[in-house]
Structure 1
Amino acid sequence: MSTHLTLEDYVAALTTSGATLRDAARDAGPRARVPTCPEWTVTELVAHQGMVHRWATANLRAEPDHDTERSYAEGIAAPDPLSWLSEGIDTLVATLRATPEDVAAKVFLRNAPAPLLFWARRQAHETTIHSVDAVAATLGRWPSPSEVSITPDLAADGIDELLSGFITRRKAQLRSREPHTILVTTDDTGHAWSVRLSQEPVVTTVGEPGATDTPVSRFSGTAVQLYLTLWNRADEATVEGNTSLIEQWRSQARII
């Protein structure tokens, strides 16, 4: 699973999306519901994200005793949860910049890039997607691409992480009794992925499918439209062919 961006690109995305999340959370208020994650309030969103930042930092620092439940509870109880969130981002950014390129840290996706780049990428997208959740809380609905600040390059990279990494895991739920392929294409960045569903874990290949594998559905749109749609934060993709597959995606490819 190759990455499309550099370490500094990911750090910049993490920093920018962290600020967006913080500002949108402040505007929405701590008790506001999060339409894209309806089981959460803004306080719970902030606590979750701050916990994940601290967990990523602990992995990079080889601190195996990090307690995620205690970290989450700390965020819930913090006198100023947004300052607590910012502290976690600052520490994570400093850790990413100070960690050697050959660090032997744990990763959790198949065919992952080297650990330093893996964690930078993962936290850039984790924070970007949850910044979208915070924007949704201010709007009271799912946002459109024009209402979030995400570059096409970052979006295409996040689509790749999702399609090549997350949904191909053995524990992922996306399955089909009848094998078939979904073609995902970006209109603006020129990327394509062939997503093969069956009763076994998903197999994703970069590019168009082979001549003997005709897709039953095609998801297309700009990179940002697809990024938000495939991470289940918007409904912006154009779906051709078997249109019911987008509903299957909604129910089986849900990642918080």
Structure 2
Amino acid sequence: MPTDLTFSQHLAGLHTAMLELARHAGRSGLDVPVPSCPEWTVRRLVGHQGAVHRWAAASFRGEDLEWTPIEKAGRSSSDPVEWLRDGAIALVRTLVEAADDADAPVFLHDAAPPKRFWARRQCHETTIHAADVLGAALGRPARAEETWVTPDVALDGVDELLLGFVPRSTSPLRSAEPVRVAVRPTDAARSYSVLVTDEAPVTTRHDDGDAPGDLVVEGTSAQLYLWLWNRTDELDSDATDLWRTMIVT
């Protein structure tokens, strides 16, 4: 999975997402529903995200962490957002203090070295869930132009999803008849084609023009970032029905 962002830029993206998540949680309140995550409230999302940060730090250290009591502790905290911040700070400290060649488990296709992998993964995990909380404050899924997400962070997130998540053997994206989905950012030189069959999808990155496709989705990098993670319906595409089989939270 190539990335044009540095370790420091991924940590900066995580920091920005944390600030936005906390700000919009304050605007929305903790017990309002999250439109882009059916059956979730902001409180549940905060508990989930805080548990993810703690799980990521523990995984990087090679430790097992029992998920349910950690998530429950976050939801029942007297200040869930402050609890979330504490976990994010501890995660960043763990990554910053680690050696560049630290050995740790990773789980995406063609993943980067662990320290870089976990900084990137938590940058995007937190960014997407912060956009969810913005949607809770708005009462509807957020549009890309309403978010803080910059084109470089968004394009990096598109890379991670299409080149890291989608090609895994566990990917739910399947088609009885082979079909190629073209993903074309309108504000970047690159594009992608995803071959979907009854086996694991195959993604090809094209750095020299528009990717070919039977189905096509086009938009800015930020619009595609949210659309590919099933966080917005602002793009009109003939690939929508197929892509919505990618269940991601």
What percent of counterpart residues are identical?
44
Partner secondary structure for residue 50 of structure 1: helix
5 Å-filtered alignment, 1:79-118, equals 79-118=78-117
Q: Which blocks of at least 5 consecutive residues in structure 2 are unaligned?
A: none
Q: Which amino acid aligns with 1:218?
A: V
* 1:45 to partner: Cα distance: 0.3
In the aligned structure 1, how far is the partner of 2:150 from the partner of 2:184?
Answer: 16
One-letter amino acid matched to 2:187:
D
Alignment counterpart, residue 246 of structure 1, candidates 234, 240, 245: 240
Say which SS state the counterpart of residue 204 (structure 1) adopts: strand
TM-score of the pair, normalised by structure 1: 0.93
Partner of 1:30: 30
Query: Aligned letter for 1:246?
Result: T
Q: What secondary structure sits across from 1:161 in the alignment?
A: helix
**Partner amino acid for 1:108?**
F
Could you tell me which residue of structure 1 aligns to residue 233 of structure 2?
Answer: 235
2:61 is matched with 61
CA apart distance, 1:62:
2.2
- 2:188 aligned counterpart, secondary structure: coil
Q: Give the deviation of 1:214 after TM superposition.
A: 5.0
Name the residue aligned to 2:180: 181
Q: How far 1:30 sits from its partner (Å)?
A: 1.1
- Counterpart residue number, 2:217: 219
Give the letter aligned to residue 235 of structure 1.
D
CA distance in 1, matches of 2:109, 2:65: 23
> What residue identity is the alignment partner of 2:50?
G
CA distance in 2, matches of 1:214, 1:47: 41
Deviation at 1:209, TM superposition (A): 10
Alignment of 1:31-180 (within 5 A): 31-63=31-63, 65-180=64-179
Partner residue in 2 for 1:192 = 191
Q: Which amino acid aligns with 1:46?
A: V
Cα displacement (A) at 1:237: 2.9
| TM superposition shift of 1:11 | 0.2
Summarize the alignment of residues 202-213 of structure 1 with structure 2, pairs less than 5 Å apart. 202-207=201-206
The 3-state SS of whatever aligns with 1:181 is strand
Q: Does 125-134 or 230-239 show the bigger shift?
A: 230-239
**TM-score, reference length from structure 2:** 0.96
Deviating above 3 A after TM superposition, structure 1's stretches of 4 or more consecutive aligned residues are none
Change (3 A) 1:214 1:83: closer
TM-aligned CA deviation for residue 97 of structure 1: 1.0
AA at the equivalent of 1:230: L
Q: Indicate conservation of the 8 Å contact 1:35/1:136, yes or no.
A: yes
1:177 CA drift (Å):
1.0
For 2:81 and 2:172, the matched residues in 1 are separated by 34
Aligned residue pairs: how many? 248
Partner of 1:14: 14
Shift of residue 217 of structure 1? 1.4
Contact persistence 2:189–2:207 (CA under 8 A): no
SS in 1 for 2:164: helix
Please report the RMSD computed on the Cα atoms of aligned residues, expressed in angstroms: 1.6
Within 2, Cα distance between the matches of 1:81 and 1:152?
Answer: 30
8 Å Cα contact 1:228-1:236 kept in structure 2: no
Residue 38 (structure 1) shift? 1.5
